[in-house]
Amino acid sequence: EALVPVLESAIAEIHAAESSYDKATLARVLRLETMVDMRDVIDKAEKIVPAEDWTLATYKELLFLDSHSSTAETPPSYPEFDDMPQM
């Protein structure tokens, strides 16, 4: 919760910046510094909250979305491409 105002402030600062260079510099700080701090907090919370109570996608699920999807059944068939070489 303490990091939300930090994130909001950083976003507001990006929007208020005068030049594209300043916006990019602030966005870089947000992505590479601020979000790293937030990621540490989220990782710790994800470890202690039971999986059934965690309503967000886990890092593993995001990385391997296709293998964790409940719709990961047989992929759709496209007969018009049947004669194409397999990759």
Is a pLDDT exceeding 80 seen at residue 1?
no
Question: Could you read off the pLDDT of 32-86 as tens digits, one per residue?
Answer: 888 888 888 888 888 899 988 988 887 777 777 666 555 555 555 666 656 655 5
The DSSP secondary structure of 21-35, one letter per residue, reads: HHHHHHHHHIIIIIH
Spatial distance between the Cα atoms of 79 and 81, rounded to a whole number of angstroms: 5
Specify the pLDDT at position 40: 85
Tokens read off for 32: 């590479």
Q: Which is more confident, 86 or 3? A: 3
Closest alpha carbon to 3 in 34, 43, 44, 47: 34
Tokens read off for 75: 């992929």
Confidence band for 19, pLDDT divided at 50, 70 and 90: very high
